[in-house]
Amino acid sequence: MPDPGDHSELTRLRAEVALLRDELATARKAEEKVETRLAKMRAARDLAESSANVLSRALADRLRIDGSERGRKRSLLARRQRGPTAEERQQLELIRSSPLFDAAWYLRNNHDVVKAGDEPGLHFLRHPTRPARAPSPDFDTARYVDAHPEVLEEGINPLVHFLLSEEGKRADRYPPQP
């Protein structure tokens, strides 16, 4: 004959399992809500990043000073910045043509350049080391200067020095990836 105490224990365990199932269902619903909110936040972040990229590229274009034509009007924002010298024009073209210089990225990471209304390429050409500024996420100016102190002694822009070197001709970043 079955023990009546076993029946009550079984009933208690069933009630506990039912309670645990309810708690699990509640936790799953809460997790779904969090995942939904997280997905919305990620979408908003991606949209903000995309907008920032578009705006910073537009700003970089607006600030661009083209030294190829004398007397040509410069952008309103860049009028405060002295135009490039003949030597700077060559270096500026080298910098601008390199995938290691990203004008939009430079502006997003150097708000003082935006506030000053300076053209990003010319600003980086003239002010790469005080403070050390990276022209893109793929070139570490500070590490390059540490490895090549002659750039400071000779007053050469670190990216220009790198791009003209043998090392820079075959590299797509500095420091190189192992």
Examine the pLDDT at 80 and tell me if it is beyond 60: yes
Q: Please state the domain extents for the chain.
A: 1-178
pLDDT tens for 13-38 read 999 999 999 999 999 999 999 999 98
State the SS3 of 83-145. CCCHHHHHHHHHHHHCCCCCHHHHHHHCHHHHHHCCCHHHHHHHCCECCECCCECCECHHHHH
pTM tops 0.75: no
Query: What secondary structure letter does DSSP report for 178?
Result: -
User: What does the pLDDT read at residue 71?
Assistant: 46
Are 142 and 148 in contact by the 8 Å Cβ rule? The answer is no
Q: State how far the alpha carbon of 56 is from the alpha carbons of 47, 81, 111, 119, 120, in Å.
A: 14, 18, 11, 12, 11
Q: Give the 3-state secondary structure of residue 174.
A: strand
Give the pLDDT of residue 25: 94
